[in-house]
Amino acid sequence: MTKRVYNFYAGPAALPLEVLETAQKELLDFNGSGMSIMELSHRSKIYDEVIETAKKDIKNLMGLDDSYHILFLGGGASTQFAMIPYNFLKEGMAGDYIDTGAWSTKAIKESKKIGETNVLASSKEKNFSYIPKDFTIDENAAYLHITSNNTIRGTELFTFPETGNVPLICDMSSDFLSRELDYTKFDLIYAGAQKNVGPAGVVIVIIKDSMLGKIKDADLFTMLDYRTHVSKGSMFNTPPAFPIYMVGLVVKWLKAHGGLAEMEKLNIKKSKLLYDAIDNSNGFYIGATAKEDRSRMNVTFRLKDESLEEIIAKEALENDLVGLKGHRSVGGLRASIYNAVPYAGVEKLVNFLNDFMKKHS
Amino acid sequence: MTKRVYNFYAGPAALPLEVLETAQKELLDFNGSGMSIMELSHRSKIYDEVIETAKKDIKNLMGLDDSYHILFLGGGASTQFAMIPYNFLKEGMAGDYIDTGAWSTKAIKESKKIGETNVLASSKEKNFSYIPKDFTIDENAAYLHITSNNTIRGTELFTFPETGNVPLICDMSSDFLSRELDYTKFDLIYAGAQKNVGPAGVVIVIIKDSMLGKIKDADLFTMLDYRTHVSKGSMFNTPPAFPIYMVGLVVKWLKAHGGLAEMEKLNIKKSKLLYDAIDNSNGFYIGATAKEDRSRMNVTFRLKDESLEEIIAKEALENDLVGLKGHRSVGGLRASIYNAVPYAGVEKLVNFLNDFMKKHS
């Protein structure tokens, strides 16, 4: 018997069961080839179809046309922190950043290694528990970099800055494809797959064609130069073929389940159910972030009696509710309820939280 | 019915059937966790066991002690081409290279972006059809970089240079774990997994602890600094978790089948069978490389009548012998017979080659 639990890990995280079942079924013989998808040359026709369909489906879901390129790269979002200033931060310009938590902070650190770096706003003084909204964009900036969702603290951007001619670059790792947005506002989007759209090992980079002309006129390292990957369609070297295939299955699943509009509705419904349970607990559970900036992806909370936090995480595990411990840097509890976490999983969690509260009130 | 063919792709390439069957079996529920290996937090105990066992098994197979660190990184071997000079090529020193084909050439190109780069020897004038053996090592070099197997042309190093105090760095992407060697001669070894030890998406880097002290005293990009990954055990950011798991299964399979000693015997036997068929064809098939440098991994050959090369590749496919076309940059035929390609597959190929010859002689 295959055992399945409800998985609230922050990433790598839950994948849709149907996607896993498809991968399992065709793992030894992909599409009648007599080979696993992992054994296929990345230059074979059959693999080409896999990667090109994934690109097309992502564009389609996001409403992007061919002025955007979809790249599948290795090295994770952490490598993007470096690649962005390495490509775009030219002499005489500054990289502008909004600091909304650990991931923004890491991106800022890499940028400082390259050139002038301005932090326009930060919520650090309140432990990144809210999204700063007051800042002035420098019209001569090389770009403005933002992080749309802070996985660790559980905040999310719901209004995006108008940047005029300044390119808007966004790390969407933890809420990628979770909602409808006007994605044409963005000049570069990147997202590690392992939160919302696949397994670890691939970062999706969506780059507007006009950004290629803004890259430094320098002999950059081949693998760190966005032009390399755009010109070769992510096939300059062997791409992370299996993670890309899994992303392809997930986006197909997204399309089959109503696309981003339906996914957003479900994410609103799921997160509301959980935040309501917290807010209606008479202070037994305490939401960890500003209400208007609460993430629909990572619901963070504390117990009024912090000594119960170890116990609740342990009891949750005994109830097949996995991954509820907060990030090791902040403690507390965190339920990551990405696209693939079903409504029934959140219901079960809410029932568990209510039962736990009754026992310990 | 699951169809399986014999797979001679150069990479991504054949994986052991037993390994794929294990992965398939546990794809929805890894080790009783109720989650796929792809859904597990990389910081969970259960995943930690997977990655640490893989490291230990690789060290064990290669006879390396704890003065070596095993890293699992993204970005492929192509990113290593840049990371090596970025970390080790200091002002006043040179990076020394032996140019044995396309991959060495690419490594050299990245090094030139950083500093003085010397190509001590090259077989370019003969289309990289042999391994150059005459060169003098510069005692002040930052390192000597070699490529142990040229996947495209089909040559392999069987004698490694004595470099004294100069660190020896080797790209072993296409013959990694295919034979016994004194691996303690090397200071840094790297290998894209997708040839001999796993699916695409992870590069294995084996770095001697003493190399860390040779890294430039500079504020390197975090993800491109070997110290980052050594100090965090490849867990600075989310590693390519599923490809690492697959590598772990492959090295377990290697151990269960006699380790590198047995693997080397089998690789000698397989490649001899195929080269003998070529050599005994009265010139119908022509080996593409110098006999003493023939790769046991990638067997390259031409047909005397080159107009038959399209036909033979097509007929091979009809006989479930897949991936025999030579690299697009050189043409001809290539049979990649990595660890996971069984002896029976090479036998079937040889029978096919003999039959084809009879029909067309």
Question: What's the pLDDT tens digit per position in B13-25?
Answer: 999 999 999 999 9
Average pLDDT, chain A: 97
User: Does A252 qualify as catalytic in the annotation?
Assistant: no
For residues A338-355, average pLDDT? 98
The reply to whether residue B13 touches residue A202, judged by beta carbons under 8 angstroms, is: no
High-pLDDT (> 90) share of chain B, %:
97
Chain-chain contact of B74 with A246 (C-beta, under 8 angstroms): no
B63, pLDDT greater than 90: yes
Residue A77 has a pLDDT of: 98
Return the residue in B237, B247, B298 with the most chain A beta carbons within 10 A, the one to mutate for interface testing: B237
Q: For B127-171, what is each residue's pLDDT tens digit? A: 999 999 999 999 999 999 999 999 999 999 999 999 999 999 999
Where in the sequence of chain A do the CATH 3.90.1150.10 domains occur?
A: 259-360
Element housing B325 (H / E): none
Q: pTM for the complete prediction?
A: 0.98
A303 touches chain B (CB under 8 A): no
Residue B133: active-site member: no
pLDDT of residue B2: 82
Average pLDDT over residues A254-281: 98
SS3 B243: helix
The pLDDT score that the predictor gives to residue A300 is 97
Hey, of B5, B39, B87, B314, which one would you mutate to test binding to chain A, going by the most A CBs within 10 A of its CB?
A: B39
Told to judge if B195 belongs to the known catalytic residues of this protein, a careful annotator would answer: yes
Give A 31-60 residues with CB within 8 A of chain B. 32-36, 38-44
Classify B259-360 by CATH class: alpha beta
pLDDT higher than threshold 80 for residue A119: yes
Q: Min CA distance, B14 vs chain A (Å)?
A: 5
pLDDT band at B327 (very low <50, low <70, confident <90, very high): confident
Nearest to B243 among A109, A242, A320 (CB): A242
Give the Cα-Cα-Cα angle B261, B262, B265 (nearest 5 degrees). Answer: 90
| pLDDT greater than 90 at residue A187 | yes
B241–A12 CB contact, under 8 Å:
yes
Whether ipTM > 0.95 holds is yes
The CA distance from A75 to the nearest CA of chain B, in Å, is 4
- Mutation test of the interface with chain B: which of A2, A36, A236, choosing the one with the most B Cβ atoms within 10 A? A36
pLDDT at A293: 98
Confidence class for position A328, pLDDT limits 50, 70, 90: confident
CA separation for the pair A55, A43 (Å, rounded):
16
Q: Say whether residue A222 is in contact with chain B using an 8 A CB cutoff.
A: yes
pLDDT digits 0-9 by tens, B208-267:
999 999 999 999 999 999 999 999 999 999 999 999 999 999 999 999 999 999 999 999
Calculate what percentage of chain B has a pLDDT beyond 70.
Answer: 100
Please determine, for residue A335, whether its predicted confidence score (pLDDT) is greater than 90.
Answer: yes
- Nearest C-alpha in A relative to B234: A75
Give the model confidence (pLDDT) of B262-311 as tens digits. Answer: 999 999 999 999 999 999 999 999 999 999 999 999 999 999 999 999 99
Q: Per-residue pLDDT for B1 more than 70? A: no
State which fold the B17-256 domain adopts: Aspartate Aminotransferase; domain 2 (3.40.640)
Per-residue pLDDT, averaged over A232-244, amounts to 96
pLDDT per residue over B187-214, tens digit each? Answer: 999 999 999 999 999 999 999 999 999 9
Measured between CA atoms, how close is B361 to chain A, in angstroms?
31
* Average pLDDT score over residue span A91-118: 97
Helix A45-62 to helix A259-279 angle (10° resolution) is: 60
pLDDT tens, residue by residue, A25-76: 999 999 999 999 999 999 999 999 999 999 999 999 999 999 999 999 999 9
Mean pLDDT of the region A353-360: 97
User: Does residue A84 register a pLDDT over 90?
Assistant: yes
User: Using the beta-carbon criterion (under 8 Å), do B38 and A4 form an inter-chain contact?
Assistant: no
Q: How confident is the model at residue A1, as a pLDDT?
A: 67
